[in-house]
Amino acid sequence: MKFDTNFLIWTREPASFTISDEKIEIITRPNTDLWQRTYYGFQNDNAPVLQTETEEKFFSFTVRTDFESKKRFDQCGVVMYLDSENWLKASIEYENGVFSHLGSVVTNCGYSDWATAEIPASVNSMWYRLSRRESDYLIECSDDGKIFRQMRVCHLQKGGGKIRFGIYACSPGDSSFRATFTHMKMGECEWKAWEG
């Protein structure tokens, strides 16, 4: 099933962007981020988010990201943003010239968590797959778009009804970079029911 870019809606626009059927490019603004409270205490809710809306209870959304981030905390990836206190995201967050963080954040009722793994800083492309089973979600990543690895299984307390999901890119520090999103596809849920 093709992902229709004609129905995408911005929650905050980036510095500049281009949208076509095959590719979306975002250039980030400095000092933009998504985070709520936990550990750091601060609340950042100004990252550009581009999403579509659905009531479909079972689906998978896949996207490839390519990026030129070179400053600490630069990030881009997949997102499901419901409101400032209820959302999830997965991305590569640049740390330094040696490693980056491949991770995900889930925010329920105003508190974020962050699960990460260190990967080489030379990685500048990643595929993500977000799958929904009612109010439960699976986030996966892939180097080649064929073999996906589980990053996280989570529950969104407000994620059981109509939702919005899509892509985001931001630069929490004093920086800006270009993020490119391609191979966007929404289709049958690849996350099969548990058979225990």
**Rounded Cα gap, residues 142 and 90, in angstroms:** 12
Q: How far is CA 107 from CA 6, 37, 82, 85, 154, in A?
A: 28, 10, 10, 6, 10
**Rounded Cα gap, residues 102 and 40, in angstroms:** 19
What string of pLDDT tens digits covers the 196 residues of the chain?
667 899 999 999 998 999 999 999 999 999 999 999 998 888 899 999 999 999 999 999 999 999 998 899 999 999 999 999 999 999 999 999 999 999 999 999 999 999 999 999 999 999 999 999 999 999 999 999 999 999 999 999 999 999 999 999 999 999 999 999 999 999 999 999 988 7
Q: How far is CA 51 from CA 95, 118, 146, in A?
A: 26, 28, 24
Helices (H), the chain: none
Which pLDDT belongs to residue 134? 98
41 contacts: CB under 8 Å, gap ≥ 6: none
**Rounded Cα gap, residues 55 and 132, in angstroms:** 11
88 in Cβ contact with 74 (< 8 Å): no
CA Rg value for the chain? 15
**Rounded Cα gap, residues 135 and 100, in angstroms:** 30
The residues with which 30 forms a beta bridge, in sequence order, are 171
128 in Cβ contact with 78 (< 8 Å): yes
CATH number of 5-187: 2.60.120.200
What tokens were used for 32? Answer: 């933009």
What is the pTM assigned to this prediction?
0.96
**What spatial distance separates the first Cα and last Cα of the chain, rounded to whole Å?**
30
Nearest to 86, CA basis, from 31, 45, 129 = 45
Which pLDDT belongs to residue 1? 62
- 159 CA to centre of own chain: 15
| Domain boundaries of the chain, sorted by first residue | 5-187
